[in-house]
């Protein structure tokens, strides 16, 4: 509490909440924006919270959504706090001026974690630094894994995404009292949070709720419904129950989480496999968000988007997978071709551009470009609204991690002093880089321009962490052009049989795509 000041009190549409002062910033944690999604509400769209009498204490983070823990290999790099309790549809607000007259810009943050992990309580997501710089910051919890993205014949799809929409509506109705301007809301997220942001700005039901958007290391996309159904069926087989919402709701919650972790252990952007994801549902997500956005959905929404230089290293380095992919050589590269549905001319082109790269680096960059950079390029090219693109290039001080997925978060939030940020960045992360990145995000949220030229025909990309921040024109254009060559198949089923795989390997060896050791 700041000396001489009472803890701040705000009245929301559902009741009063009392927060705390933290270094000149008013913080309200654990405010419910929807009712607990359990009992008769399980696997159902979010319902409004029950109003309360008196003053609700908002001094601590609320419960987190049910989720399995990270494996030991990933837990050494990523933190994922657990707060027990059923009232997990809650949010937090940091504000420098909790007054209706302030009318400050607002950033609503959707956390990442592959839609199966993460929460607003992750220490790196401390909103105090944004509030310190004049932004009202809101972070949101939402349902994860099978609770939020399971696909059942007897329940609506995408309840986790519907939670996020409910939180956005809460912000639109309530944020004025906290000092925010509901007409200046930026929705942003990283990884799965960026994928969710893309789906929401494309959703007809969210129109008018968002003025700007940030997509960090995640493109607008949907997951094939059969892929999600396979995840649910495999869980059902392990649990020996029907693959219905009714049966899953009756199952023990811890048993569900264990089954989910076991079935999903091989799911990753590089490996593929069954996974949870946003699906086209004919309602909240009437069509593929990328297609909708390239066709002009989200008119008037400014966009900031980007990626890290070595996204794939977070997926491959923990657990020694990078070395195993290198040892697999042709088999790994053939698997990447199947995953990306491309011919041998694509890895051959990457080998020509990266003659010294190992197989794992080649596979990682191919998959990253196919799944992430290519759709973000396509989206940026199609938009008429102001769009800005960046690349984060500073390599972690942790061995082998490079400029990996999620590394930029400690710099965006200027939270590098947090022990949890150092788990991924190591010791000695440069403060001037945090000042540059955080400042760019604050400027974008505040007035729509992060401080460099908008996307255009020459593809200007702001590079952070490779010397002083600077513009490079088309740094990924040569690689991404390989995917649009006429001879590159872009759809159809990937090779599946052993003879087909052997044929792909022979083509790879003949083409020179494999590094000669």
**For residue 504, what pLDDT is reported?**
43
Residues 6+ apart with CB under 8 A from 500: none
Give me 314's structure tokens: 């977070």
Q: Which of 292, 93, 96, 106 is nearest to 183 (CA)?
A: 106
**For residue 343, what pLDDT is reported?**
85
CA separation for the pair 66, 303 (Å, rounded): 31
Beta-bridged to residue 140, according to DSSP, are 91, 110
- pTM exceeds 0.85 for this model: yes
CA separation for the pair 450, 435 (Å, rounded): 13
> Tokens 């008769």 belong to which residue?
40
Residue 284 placed within a domain? no
CA separation for the pair 412, 122 (Å, rounded): 14
CA separation for the pair 469, 230 (Å, rounded): 44
Which among 79, 139, 217, 311 is annotated as catalytic?
311
Within 13 Å and on the Cβ side, how many CA atoms surround 305?
A: 30
**For residue 503, what pLDDT is reported?**
46
Active site residue 191: yes
Residue 43: exposed, middle, or buried by beta-carbon count in 10 A (0-12, 13-18, 19+)? buried
What domain count does the chain have? 1
Which among 139, 191, 344, 446 is annotated as catalytic?
191
Pairing state between β 25-32 and 20-22? antiparallel
Q: Which of 390, 381, 378 is nearest to 483 (CA)?
A: 378
Question: How many residues appear in the chain?
Answer: 517
| pLDDT tens digits, 260-301 | 999 987 666 666 666 899 999 999 999 999 999 999 999 999
Beta-bridged to residue 28, according to DSSP, are 93
Which among 111, 405, 415, 479 is annotated as catalytic?
405
Residue 276 and residue 149 in contact, taking contact as beta carbons nearer than 8 Å: yes
**For residue 272, what pLDDT is reported?**
64
Residue 473 placed within a domain? no
Residues 6+ apart with CB under 8 A from 2: 21, 23, 24
> Tokens 């509030």 belong to which residue?
131
Give the three-state DSSP class for 174.
helix
Residue 339 placed within a domain? no
Q: Which of 305, 151, 307 is nearest to 233 (CA)?
A: 151
Neighbour count for residue 355 (Cβ, 10 Å): 9
CA separation for the pair 311, 314 (Å, rounded): 6
Residue 363 and residue 397 in contact, taking contact as beta carbons nearer than 8 Å: no
Residue 491: exposed, middle, or buried by beta-carbon count in 10 A (0-12, 13-18, 19+)? exposed
Neighbour count for residue 292 (Cβ, 10 Å): 20
CA separation for the pair 306, 222 (Å, rounded): 19
Active site residue 396: no
Residue 205 placed within a domain? no
E strands present in 103-152: 104-110, 136-140
**For residue 264, what pLDDT is reported?**
85
Beta-bridged to residue 56, according to DSSP, are 17
Residue 319 placed within a domain? no
Residues 6+ apart with CB under 8 A from 54: 15, 16
CA separation for the pair 428, 61 (Å, rounded): 29
Q: Please, where are the H alpha helices in 177-297?
A: 192-202, 225-239, 245-250, 253-263, 289-294
Residues 6+ apart with CB under 8 A from 396: 402, 403, 404, 407, 424, 425, 426
Residue 4 placed within a domain? yes
Give me 423's structure tokens: 């788990």
- What region, left, alpha or beta, does residue 34 occupy, with left being phi > 0 and alpha being psi -120 to 50 degrees? beta
CA separation for the pair 406, 426 (Å, rounded): 13
Query: Whole domain around residue 86: which residue ranges?
Result: 1-154
Give me 142's structure tokens: 């939402």
CA separation for the pair 315, 401 (Å, rounded): 10
**Residues of the chain under the 50 pLDDT cut:** 1, 487-509, 511-517
As a 3-state breakdown, the chain gives helix, strand, coil percent values, each rounded to 5, of: 40, 15, 45
Residue 268 placed within a domain? no
Residue 244 placed within a domain? no
Active site residue 111: no
């Amino acid at each position: 509490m700041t000396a001489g000041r009472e803890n701040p009190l705000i009245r929301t549409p559902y009741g009063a909440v009392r927060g705390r002062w933290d270094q000149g910033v008013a913080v309200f944690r654990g405010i419910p924006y929807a009712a607990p999604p359990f009992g008769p509400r399980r696997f159902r769209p979010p319902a409004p919270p029950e109003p309360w009498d008196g003053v609700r204490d908002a001094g601590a983070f609320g419960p987190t959504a049910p989720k399995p823990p990270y494996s030991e290999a990933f837990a050494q790099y990523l933190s994922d706090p657990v707060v027990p309790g059923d009232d997990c549809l809650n949010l937090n607000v940091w504000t420098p001026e909790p007054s209706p007259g302030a009318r400050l810009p607002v950033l609503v943050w959707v956390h990442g974690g592959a839609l199966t992990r993460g929460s607003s309580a992750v220490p790196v997501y401390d909103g105090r630094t944004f509030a310190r710089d004049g932004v009202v910051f809101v972070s949101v919890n939402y349902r994860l894994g099978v609770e939020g993205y399971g696909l059942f014949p007897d329940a609506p799809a995408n309840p986790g995404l519907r939670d996020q929409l409910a939180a956005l509506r809460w912000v639109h109705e309530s944020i004025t009292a906290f000092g925010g301007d509901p007409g200046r809301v930026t929705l942003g997220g990283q990884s799965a949070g960026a994928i969710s942001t893309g789906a929401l700005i494309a959703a007809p039901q969210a129109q008018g709720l968002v003025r700007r958007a940030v997509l960090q290391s995640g493109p607008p996309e949907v997951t094939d419904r059969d892929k999600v159904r396979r995840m649910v069926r495999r869980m059902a087989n392990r649990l020996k129950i029907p693959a219905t919402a009714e049966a899953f709701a009756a199952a023990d919650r811890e048993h569900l989480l264990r089954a989910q972790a076991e079935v999903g252990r091989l799911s990753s952007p590089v490996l593929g496999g069954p996974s949870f994801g946003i699906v086209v549902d004919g309602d909240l997500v009437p069509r593929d968000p990328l297609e909708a956005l390239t066709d002009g959905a989200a008119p008037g929404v400014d966009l900031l988007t980007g990626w890290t230089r070595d996204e794939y290293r977070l997926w491959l380095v923990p657990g020694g997978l990078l070395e195993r992919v290198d040892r697999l050589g042709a088999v790994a590269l053939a698997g990447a071709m199947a995953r990306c549905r491309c011919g041998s001319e694509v890895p051959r082109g990457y080998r020509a551009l990266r003659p010294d790269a190992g197989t794992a680096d080649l596979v990682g960059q191919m998959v990253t470009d196919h799944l992430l950079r290519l759709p973000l390029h396509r989206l940026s090219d199609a938009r008429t609204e102001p769009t800005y693109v960046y690349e984060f290039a500073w390599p972690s001080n942790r061995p082998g991690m490079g400029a990996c997925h999620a590394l930029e978060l400690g710099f965006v939030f200027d939270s590098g002093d947090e022990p949890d940020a150092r788990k991924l960045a190591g010791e000695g992360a440069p403060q001037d880089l945090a000042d540059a990145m955080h400042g760019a995000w604050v400027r974008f949220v505040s007035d729509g321009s992060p401080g460099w030229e908008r996307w255009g025909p020459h593809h200007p990309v702001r590079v952070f962490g490779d010397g002083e921040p600077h513009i490079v024109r088309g740094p990924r254009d040569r690689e991404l052009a390989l995917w649009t060559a006429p001879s590159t198949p872009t759809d159809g089923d990937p090779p599946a049989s052993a003879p087909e795989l052997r044929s792909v390997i022979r083509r790879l060896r003949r083409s020179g795509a494999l590094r000669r050791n």
